[in-house]
Amino acid sequence: MSAEALASSVSSGAPIEGRGITKRFAARRSVFTALDDVSFAIRGGEFVSLIGPSGCGKSTLMLIAAGLSQATQGEILIGGRRLGAPLTDVGIVFQDHLLLEFRTALDNILMQHVIRGLPLDRGRIEALALMEKLGIAEAADRYPKHLSGGMRQRVSIARALIHQPSVLLMDEPFGALDAITRTQIRHDLELLWLETRKTVLFITHSVEEAVGLSDRVLVMSPSPGRIVEEIAIDLPRPRPAHLGEYPTFNVYAERIHAAFQRMGVIKY
């Protein structure tokens, strides 16, 4: 399928909206505010990255968006409906692959079907197809200890997508990988997203990943986390491995770096 055809495919993702999200944690003698009045809107089928310094509340916001943590104030809407319980129509990928060591790669992916009571025969076919697209078809019968870090994370991505969720939440999924593997898996993820058009909220510390994958980048401030800048990324898809060759990439990267410099996150 051509890039143009992929890009014009119909969205199967649900819109996500956050309204005035504030999250406070009680400490022994004080209250810690992790997020302060965070509002955002992600269109159905859009790929949005959240980038900010460590401790700014990115992961906390993702957990709230998944319904796994409750906001102190504010609300999350998925598909226009207020989220009042853990979101089931979601795939989540963490930095740690969280694979079960006693299950093969294929069986780890099929855990979604086991837990949800979905047909395993059809799931096996779909899982193998996903593994083929992610370049790990030969690893179906291997256990996690026999897989490289990149292969384990690809299995984790397949597990998050196998049940066809409309929302994909990713928290630093490539953070533990080497630079070459990160570049390849970024490309593989983009192609899968172009094909399926899930709504993606992607958390990263990497400017290159944020610009390379996203339709928009939301820049967060140091704690308490706030969204201080929104940058629309207008680059052709699928995007090349060497983004630095594109002058526009450097413009986007400089905007993100400039935002961090204004906040004192980066000091020259």
The per-residue pLDDT for range 132-147, each reduced to its tens digit, is 999 999 999 999 999 9
pLDDT at 243: 78
Sign for the CA dihedral angle at 48, 51, 54, 60 comes to negative
For the chain, domains (ranges, CATH) are: 13-89+169-174+198-268 (3.40.50.300)
Residues 101, 170, 74, 222: what is their CA dihedral angle, to the nearest 10 degrees? 110
pLDDT at 7: 37
Asked whether 127 and 161 are in contact (CB, 8 A), the reply is: no
pLDDT at 266: 79
pLDDT at 2: 32
Beta strand residue intervals within the chain, DSSP E: 16-26, 31-42, 47-51, 73-78, 81-82, 90-93, 167-171, 199-204, 216-220, 227-232
Residues of the chain with pLDDT under 50: 1-11
pLDDT at 176: 82
